[in-house]
């Protein structure tokens, strides 16, 4: 009998929109049931979606079925009471039950009691709904009972209270992801529910029924952002949901074509097409799910690795600080002994204390390199930028290291044009200690015979320092390790067993902080190396 009623009805544009909304909300509810049915909060929202679908189905029957029109109208107005109640119940828990908005069992029973009362009132003809006049070719006219305003206040009050709770949670919850989830839910329900209450509660009461169907269509804009928000904390679930939603809609479209086909030929073609798309869709969904699972595992491992690295860095920093303290005390003690602060020491003791003092100072330097590397990596180093003469700075470094070069029988030559202006802006002490001293000192250490040549030049507003040696060279296998934290080449370990591998990493960090660059060239093992440092001249610094 119902089929006969529907077959004579006018399946207009509004009804098509309503059916599409029902299909969309049903699919979204099914996705939540499939993927998140074990979570309590999602069970509540799933019930809310069921009530929304129920309300949308009722408006379709209300518009298309001429028999028992008053009954369909009453059930049409019963459904929103459950939507409002389940929404209010839902917001107490979404995205979490905050301590300052603690849900009490009393609230639950209060909501249930009010819902039962309003449902009973709605089910009794003449209380909320008095009668309905069917108007062929137009929207039906509803005559409301004396307690309709109480009904409207119940619906709008529950939605208003729920929205206020969500707005308050925005100020109480600090987690960024949960705050975004709240924003999706708040805006989705605020816009859709406000418009729906205007078109389905206010306008009908004023005698305008032309948009009495629009609220049900707008529910898609309530369900869709909340479904997205529920899946939001699983970062890649959205891709799965989008794939499943698109695939299911395609299946429904092809199925509808199959049912509407008039010729056998079209039905066979659409049946084959539906079967092929069905299989491909299943394979596509499974493929996306596998990809998502892999990416989630990778992200989880990356997060765990980041935490482990941070803990390791903090531990190294702590240990280094502690060792530095012990070494500093030992340095002061050995220095006092060698300098005779405790009286004149025997020659053997003085010689021993001087060797120990040199070793302790090397230890302090190593610890300071490790600490500096950690600070550069975290970006906690502050530079004091001021004008300085690059040639004078490099000259001082060359003079400091000349005795060490002469002790090894090496030449140390500085070449710079006396008429060129080598003015720069930067942290001269940092550049002196960690860049120029490091590079020239390394050149002396890793050069067994021959010499070191330091060249300064200026071209197009860029200052260039080149440190060239005739030393052990850098094999291709070591290229990837240079300038990395703790990176040491094979030759560096052979020649200087005490190398920390942090020197070039620190030098690179400082040079780049000065808007410059550092690199090297080497023909290979045993063929020497040239390190280059390029810095902007004083009059060509970038503006900030």
Per residue, the 3-state secondary structure of 381-443, as one string, reads CCCCCEEEEHHHHHHHHHHHHHHHHHHCCCEEEEECCCCCCCEEEECHHHHHHHHHHHHHHHH
Residue 345's contacts (CB-CB under 8 Å, 6 or more residues apart) are 337, 338, 353
Tell me, yes or no, whether 368 and 393 share the same domain: no
Does residue 512 lie within any of the structural domains?
A: yes
Does residue 51 lie within any of the structural domains?
A: yes
Q: Work out how many domains the chain is built from and give that number.
A: 3
**What band does 215 get if pLDDT is binned at 50, 70 and 90?**
confident
Tell me, yes or no, whether 343 and 487 share the same domain: no
Quote the pLDDT of residue 64. 84
Residue 355 or 528, more confident: 528
Task: For residues 446 and 467, give the distance between their C-alpha atoms in angstroms, rounded to a whole number.
Answer: 12
Tell me, yes or no, whether 36 and 143 share the same domain: yes
Whether 476 has a pLDDT exceeding 70, the answer reads yes
Tell me, yes or no, whether 402 and 363 share the same domain: no
Max mean pLDDT range (221-230, 413-422, 454-463): 454-463
Whether 7 has a pLDDT exceeding 60, the answer reads no
Task: For residues 71 and 125, give the distance between their C-alpha atoms in angstroms, rounded to a whole number.
Answer: 9
Task: For residues 315 and 200, give the distance between their C-alpha atoms in angstroms, rounded to a whole number.
Answer: 63
Quote the pLDDT of residue 544. 39
CATH number assigned to the domain comprising residue 531: 3.30.565.10
Tell me, yes or no, whether 194 and 311 share the same domain: no
Give the mean model confidence (pLDDT) for residues 86-96: 82
Ramachandran angles phi, psi of 263, nearest 5°: -100, 150
Last residue of a domain, one of 233, 260, 293: 233
* Tokens coding 422: 């080598």
**What band does 75 get if pLDDT is binned at 50, 70 and 90?**
very high
Give the mean model confidence (pLDDT) for residues 85-110: 72
Quote the pLDDT of residue 8. 40
Last residue of a domain, one of 358, 378, 398: 378
* Tokens coding 509: 């960090």
The widest CA-to-CA distance across the chain, in whole angstroms, is: 120
Residue 469 or 41, more confident: 469
Give every strand in the sheet of 529-536, ordered side by side: 411-415, 451-459, 462-469, 529-536, 517-522
Quote the pLDDT of residue 153. 94
Tell me, yes or no, whether 19 and 159 share the same domain: yes
**What band does 260 get if pLDDT is binned at 50, 70 and 90?**
low
Task: For residues 23 and 17, give the distance between their C-alpha atoms in angstroms, rounded to a whole number.
Answer: 10
Residue 91 or 320, more confident: 91
Give the mean model confidence (pLDDT) for residues 129-136: 88
Give the mean model confidence (pLDDT) for residues 83-95: 86
Residue 229's contacts (CB-CB under 8 Å, 6 or more residues apart) are 95, 180, 181, 182, 184, 185
* Tokens coding 51: 């009530």
Last residue of a domain, one of 176, 204, 233: 233
Ramachandran angles phi, psi of 299, nearest 5°: -65, -40
Residue 56's contacts (CB-CB under 8 Å, 6 or more residues apart) are 18, 21, 22, 25, 216, 219
For the CA atoms of 131, 136, 140, 142, what is the dihedral angle to 10 degrees?
Answer: -30
Describe the crossing of helices 437-445 and 503-513 by its angle, rounded to 10 degrees: 150
Residue 283 or 237, more confident: 283
Give the mean model confidence (pLDDT) for residues 6-24: 68
CATH number assigned to the domain comprising residue 13: 1.20.1070.10
Query: What phi-psi label fits residue 461: left (phi over 0), alpha (psi between -120 and 50 degrees) or beta?
Result: left
Does residue 103 lie within any of the structural domains?
A: yes
Of residues 328, 322, 376, 366, the one with CA closest to residue 498: 366
Which of 69-78, 326-335, 492-501 comes out lowest in average pLDDT? 492-501
Quote the pLDDT of residue 155. 93
Does residue 256 lie within any of the structural domains?
A: no
Residue 372 or 132, more confident: 132
Mean pLDDT of the chain: 78
Quote the pLDDT of residue 6. 45
Task: Report whether 525 contacts 474 (CB < 8 A).
Answer: yes
Give the mean model confidence (pLDDT) for residues 370-385: 68
Quote the pLDDT of residue 36. 63
Give the mean model confidence (pLDDT) for residues 185-193: 84
Quote the pLDDT of residue 239. 63
Give the mean model confidence (pLDDT) for residues 29-52: 77
Give percent of the chain above pLDDT 90. 20
Give the mean model confidence (pLDDT) for residues 407-417: 89
Query: What domain range includes position 362?
Result: 303-378
Task: For residues 443 and 528, give the distance between their C-alpha atoms in angstroms, rounded to a whole number.
Answer: 9
For the CA atoms of 454, 455, 458, 459, what is the dihedral angle to 10 degrees?
Answer: -120
Describe the crossing of helices 69-91 and 40-64 by its angle, rounded to 10 degrees: 160
**What band does 535 get if pLDDT is binned at 50, 70 and 90?**
very high
pLDDT single digits (tens) 217-239: 888 777 777 766 666 544 345 56
Exposure of 398 in the CB half-sphere (CA atoms within 13 A):
23
Does residue 191 lie within any of the structural domains?
A: yes
Quote the pLDDT of residue 467. 93
Exposure b/e, 278-303, CB count within 10 A at least 16 = b: eeebeeebeebbeebeeeeeeeeeee
Task: For residues 240 and 15, give the distance between their C-alpha atoms in angstroms, rounded to a whole number.
Answer: 30
Quote the pLDDT of residue 268. 80
Quote the pLDDT of residue 9. 44
Task: For residues 186 and 238, give the distance between their C-alpha atoms in angstroms, rounded to a whole number.
Answer: 19
Describe the crossing of helices 105-123 and 148-172 by its angle, rounded to 10 degrees: 150
The DSSP-derived string for 86-124 is: HHHHHHTTSS---GGG---HHHHHHHHHHHHHHHHHHHS
Tell me, yes or no, whether 138 and 9 share the same domain: yes
Which residue reads 């429904």 in tokens? 252
Quote the pLDDT of residue 278. 77
Query: How many residues are there in the chain?
Result: 544
Tell me, yes or no, whether 508 and 436 share the same domain: yes
Tell me, yes or no, whether 216 and 320 share the same domain: no
Tell me, yes or no, whether 362 and 404 share the same domain: no
Of residues 141, 89, 147, the one with CA closest to residue 120: 147
**What band does 104 get if pLDDT is binned at 50, 70 and 90?**
low
Task: For residues 337 and 353, give the distance between their C-alpha atoms in angstroms, rounded to a whole number.
Answer: 7
Which of 351-355, 441-445, 527-531 comes out lowest in average pLDDT? 351-355
Tell me, yes or no, whether 11 and 114 share the same domain: yes
Tell me, yes or no, whether 363 and 405 share the same domain: no
Quote the pLDDT of residue 123. 93
Does residue 203 lie within any of the structural domains?
A: yes
Strands 141-144 and 129-133, sheet pairing: antiparallel
Quote the pLDDT of residue 131. 92
Task: For residues 460 and 398, give the distance between their C-alpha atoms in angstroms, rounded to a whole number.
Answer: 26
Task: For residues 513 and 533, give the distance between their C-alpha atoms in angstroms, rounded to a whole number.
Answer: 13
Does residue 195 lie within any of the structural domains?
A: yes
């Amino acid at each position: 009998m119902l089929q006969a009623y529907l077959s004579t009805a006018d399946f207009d544009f509004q009804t098509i929109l309503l059916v599409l909304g029902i299909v969309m909300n049903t699919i979204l509810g099914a996705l939540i049931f499939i993927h998140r049915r074990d979570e309590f909060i999602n069970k509540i929202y799933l019930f809310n979606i069921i009530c929304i679908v129920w309300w949308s189905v009722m408006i379709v029957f209300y518009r298309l079925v001429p028999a028992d029109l008053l009954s369909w109208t009453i059930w049409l107005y019963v459904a929103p009471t459950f939507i409002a109640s389940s929404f209010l119940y839902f917001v107490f828990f979404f995205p979490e039950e905050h301590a300052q908005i603690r849900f009490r069992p009393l609230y639950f029973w209060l909501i249930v009691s009010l819902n039962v009362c309003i449902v009973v009132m709605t089910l009794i003809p003449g209380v909320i709904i008095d009668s309905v006049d069917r108007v062929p070719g137009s929207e039906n006219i509803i005559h409301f009972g004396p307690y309709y305003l109480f009904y409207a206040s119940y619906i709008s009050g529950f939605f208003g209270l729920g929205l206020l709770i969500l707005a308050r949670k925005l100020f109480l919850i600090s987690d960024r992801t949960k705050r975004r989830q709240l924003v999706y839910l708040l805006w989705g329900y605020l816009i859709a529910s406000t418009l729906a209450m205007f078109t389905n509660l206010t306008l009908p009461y004023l005698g305008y029924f032309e948009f009495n169907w629009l609220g049900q269509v707008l529910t898609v804009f309530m369900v869709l952002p909340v479904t997205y928000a529920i899946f939001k904390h699983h970062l890649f679930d959205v891709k799965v949901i989008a794939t499943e939603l698109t695939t299911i809609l395609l299946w429904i479209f092809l199925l509808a074509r199959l049912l509407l086909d008039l010729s056998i030929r079209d039905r066979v073609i659409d049946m084959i097409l539906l079967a092929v798309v069905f299989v491909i869709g299943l394979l596509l969904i499974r493929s996306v799910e596998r990809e998502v699972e892999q990416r989630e595992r990778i992200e989880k491992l990356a997060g765990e690795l980041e935490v482990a690295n941070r803990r390791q860095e903090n531990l190294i920093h702590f240990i280094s600080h502690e060792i530095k303290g012990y070494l500093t005390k030992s340095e002061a003690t050995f220095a006092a002994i060698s300098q005779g602060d405790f009286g004149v020491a025997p020659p053997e003791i003085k010689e021993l204390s001087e060797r120990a003092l040199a070793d302790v100072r090397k230890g302090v330097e190593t610890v300071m390199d490790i600490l500096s590397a950690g600070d550069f990596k975290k970006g906690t180093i502050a530079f004091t930028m001021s004008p300085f003469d690059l040639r004078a700075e490099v000259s001082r470094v060359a003079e400091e290291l000349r005795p060490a070069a002469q002790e090894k029988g090496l030449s140390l030559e500085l070449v710079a044009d006396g008429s060129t202006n080598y003015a720069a802006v930067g942290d001269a002490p940092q550049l002196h200690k960690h860049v120029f001293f490091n590079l020239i000192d390394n050149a002396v250490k890793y050069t067994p015979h021959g010499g070191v040549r330091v060249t300064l030049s200026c071209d197009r507003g860029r200052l260039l320092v080149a440190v060239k040696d005739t030393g052990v060279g850098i094999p291709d296998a070591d290229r990837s390790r240079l300038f990395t934290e703790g990176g040491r080449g094979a030759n560096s370990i052979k020649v200087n067993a005490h190398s920390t591998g942090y020197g070039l990493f620190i030098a690179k960090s400082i040079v780049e902080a000065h808007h410059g660059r550092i690199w090297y060239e080497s023909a290979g093992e045993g063929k020497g190396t040239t390190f280059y440092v390029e810095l902007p001249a004083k009059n060509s610094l970038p503006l900030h």
